[in-house]
């Protein structure tokens, strides 16, 4: 996606880039070309291009290295979600046979599920709505 504005000016070559990915380019010919084409160039204006360049892949804003990581976190979120559901079902089914270790295992599985879910959400938001700088 490229957004640009075209302006005309009578100036020499200049290229500037700002921190927000904006750029301005002023076209100019070399000294030899200017002398040869001096008669042609007198009535022409130089073009100034300004715009914002946004790099977006076909799958979104994530790089090719981060896309499989996002899919890995999606898979681990599903896996730990199913594991939490199964462990909770066992927890409720055999409530009279529980020891304190069962509570700690449930807490660890639940926290791991939440961590993978939040990381997947972070990657998904960066992929859909922002460019990583």
Is 45 a member of any domain? yes
Q: Per the domain annotation, does 27 fall within a domain? A: yes
Q: What is the mean pLDDT of the segment spanning 30-52?
A: 61
What is residue 43's predicted lDDT score, i.e. its pLDDT?
54
In a domain, 43, yes or no: yes
Which pLDDT score is estimated for 57? 82
Are 44 and 88 in the same domain? no
Give pLDDT tens digits for 45-71: 677 778 877 777 888 888 889 999 999
**Separation CA 13–CA 123 (nearest Å):** 41
The answer to the question of residue 120 being in a domain is yes
Is the pLDDT at 36 greater than 70? The verdict is no
pLDDT of residue 118 exceeding 80, the answer is yes
Percent of the chain residues topping a pLDDT of 70: 64
Same-domain check for residues 48 and 75: no
Q: Which residues contact 123 (CB under 8 A, 6 or more apart)?
A: 62, 66, 69, 70, 73
- Per-position b or e across 43-64, b if 16+ CB within 10 A of its CB: eeebebeeeeeeeeeeebbbee
Q: Are residues 73 and 118 in the same domain?
A: yes
Domain that holds residue 10: 2-53
**72 and 124 fall within a common domain:** yes
For range 91-109, the mean pLDDT: 92
In a domain, 60, yes or no: no
Q: Give residue 88's pLDDT band: very low, low, confident or very high (50, 70, 90).
A: very high
Whether 59 is covered by a domain: the verdict is no
Residues 33 and 82 grouped into a single domain: no
Same-domain check for residues 36 and 73 = no
Residues 48, 14 within the same domain: yes
């Amino acid at each position: 996606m490229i957004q640009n504005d075209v302006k005309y000016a009578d100036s020499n070559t200049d290229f500037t880039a700002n921190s927000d990915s904006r750029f301005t380019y002023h076209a100019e010919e070399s000294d030899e070309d200017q002398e040869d084409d001096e008669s042609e160039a007198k009535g022409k204006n130089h073009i100034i291009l300004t715009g914002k360049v946004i790099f977006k892949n076909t799958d979104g804003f994530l790089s090719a290295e981060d896309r499989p990581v996002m899919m890995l976190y999606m898979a681990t979120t599903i896996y730990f979600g199913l594991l939490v559901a199964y462990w909770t079902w066992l927890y409720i089914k055999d409530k009279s046979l529980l020891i304190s270790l069962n509570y700690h295992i449930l807490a660890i599985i639940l926290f791991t599920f939440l961590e993978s879910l939040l990381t997947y959400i972070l990657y998904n938001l960066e992929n859909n709505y922002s460019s990583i700088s």
